[in-house]
């Protein structure tokens, strides 16, 4: 995966985690809280992990 694609995927993961949190505020009685928190945390963690991994990765010199 190129650096640009990884940053795009990272932004999508972080954006979807924020969207889940916003939607959770409106539909508290309809959603299972633990599952939604797990899903949001997994997406946010994946997005931040990809972003930091991409930023801190050293370029290979061939």
Buried b (16+ CB within 10 A) or exposed e, 7-40: eebbeebbebbeebeeebeeeeeeeeeeebeebb
Average pLDDT of every residue of the chain? 83
- What are the residue ranges of helices labelled H in the chain? 3-26, 33-56
Predicted pLDDT at 24: 80
d(CA 46, CA 10) in angstroms, rounded, equals 7
Predicted pLDDT at 28: 66
Predicted pLDDT at 1: 73
Least confident interval from 13-17, 30-34, 35-39, 54-58: 30-34
Residue 62, pLDDT > 80, answer no
Contact call for residues 51 and 10 (beta carbons, < 8 A): yes
Q: What percent of the chain has pLDDT over 70?
A: 87
């Amino acid at each position: 995966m190129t650096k640009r694609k990884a940053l795009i995927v990272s932004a999508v993961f972080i954006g979807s985690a924020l969207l889940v949190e916003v939607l959770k505020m409106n539909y508290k009685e309809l959603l299972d809280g633990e599952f939604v928190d797990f899903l949001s945390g997994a997406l946010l963690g994946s997005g931040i992990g990809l972003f930091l991994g991409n930023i801190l990765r050293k370029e290979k010199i061939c």
